[in-house]
Amino acid sequence: MTLLAPCAALLIAGCASPSGTSFTAPSDAPVTPAATASAFAHTLSALKPIDPAVFQSAVERAAKKLMIPGAVVLLRTPQGTFRVTVGTSELGAAKPPTTGDHFRIASNTKTMTSALISLLAQDGKLRTSDPVSDYVPGVPNGERITIAELLKMRSGLYNYTSAPELAVALDANPGKARTPQEMLDIAFRRPPNFAPGASYEYSNTNYALLGLVAEKAGGHPLAQQFRDRLFAPFGLADTSLPGAADGSLPPPYSHGYMYGGSAYALVDQPYPADMQAAAWSGKLKPVDYTRQNPSYATAAGGAISTADDMATWIRSLVTGKVLDRASQQQWLRSLQAEDPNAPKGQKYGYGISYQRFGPQAAMYYHGGELPGFNSFVGHDPDNEVTLVIWTNLTLSPDGRTTAQALLPIVLDEVYVGLSPPTGAD
């Protein structure tokens, strides 16, 4: 569970206190083109009728098992829009979270960085076949690593968030501003893990580099390009990439919590048994990470958004509203199996994952994890399903990423023919 990593769909888990659910009829859902009779029949056969009360109850039970302070599930289907909220956005206060609350989206930022790179390629300002050395000096193997390999996590470069000294530094001075180059320096002190293109390995170093590539090719700061090319055109009024010195979230926002130090999110360090027991019993309280400065993430995971905005964004990206036809086809073709021995398994492409999780269901998605927050955003174009889950606890006491642990419970309420999720009782 590396910091800012995409979730592995179908992580099976059980899932704090109830808040509420709301349902809006289909007129509030995104307008879609008229489907053919066969496509309409497919959708009807793939999706369950959703009972808002049952949906709410399933999420509440699962969140309680994970000891999540607060969670939001935003679901859009042809039946309408369903909003489930659980618990509180701040421990010690009765503040139910909403789909308009700001939270740190972590690695879901990669969907934006990759889209910007594709737009710059579309404009002729770069080519995905260009070596990264054309834009950023001093990269190990930089003359042999292409932009496409960075986008698809196939550079072989060491992941800077795996470096133990970063977690130590973050805990010692959580408010400090950090630059992408400082993060790259951490990565480049280690040798690459494999030759460019030889394998897949999720590495935030790739996207730290892509942020610098975008600034060089686009001629403007990354935050400005995000705003001008992505946020403003698609009505993402509550989405931003904060400045390096800004550790705040705009109101309304959720606090973010995690047990223990930053290493538990950054370095896959498991919780020891005594720490788990103390957390389950309530003797150990989670740490409030709301104000940890996210500048160490930036293009790899520094953005802030809301569930409402993220639902609009992921649907726009997947359905071809962001890129032109040729660029969208390249984006779709970029998907490669993460494990060459499992060609039908999880795939990763230009800042997007894809997985089939049932006979009639598949999603383009990403996940986000950093100290304080965990999230999932996905869109299923075949069945017109958009899903956003966010939680304000990174890891459950037994080390499960919380939004991803909620995912199978939610999917089981939406799709026909999925295996019953473990711990959903």
Q: Is the pLDDT confidence value at 157 over 60?
A: yes
Q: What is the pLDDT of residues 229-258, one digit of tens each?
A: 999 999 999 999 999 999 999 999 999 999
Dist CA 108 CA 4 (whole Å) = 8
> What are the residue ranges spanned by the domains of the chain?
18-414
Query: What class, spelled out in words, does domain 18-414 have in CATH?
Result: alpha beta
Determine the Cα angle at 338 with ends 206 and 381, to 5°. Answer: 95
Q: What is the mean pLDDT of residues 382-401?
A: 97
Compute the 3-state secondary structure of the chain and give helix, strand, coil in percent, each to the nearest 5: 35, 20, 45
Query: Which tokens sit at 364?
Result: 């383009």
Residue 225 has a pLDDT of 98
Q: What is the mean pLDDT of residues 86-105?
A: 97
Q: Residues with Cβ < 8 Å from 79, sequence gap 6 or more?
A: 26, 47, 49, 50
From the DSSP assignment, how many helices (H) and strands (E) are in the chain? 13, 13
Q: What is the pLDDT of residues 189-224, one digit of tens each?
A: 999 999 999 999 999 999 999 999 999 999 999 999
Interstrand relation of 361-370 and 373-380 (parallel, antiparallel or unpaired): antiparallel
Range of weakest confidence among 34-48, 129-143, 409-423: 34-48
Strand ranges (DSSP E) for 268-358? 287-288, 304-305, 336-337, 347-348, 353-358
282: helix, strand or coil:
coil
Query: Which tokens sit at 291?
Result: 């104000």
Residue 360 has a pLDDT of 84
Residue 321 has a pLDDT of 98
The answer to whether 400 and 66 are in contact (CB under 8 A) is yes
Mean pLDDT, all residues of the chain: 91
Q: What is the mean pLDDT of residues 249-268?
A: 96
Helical H segments across 164-292, by residue range: 164-172, 180-188, 204-218, 222-225, 263-266, 273-281
Residues in the chain: 425
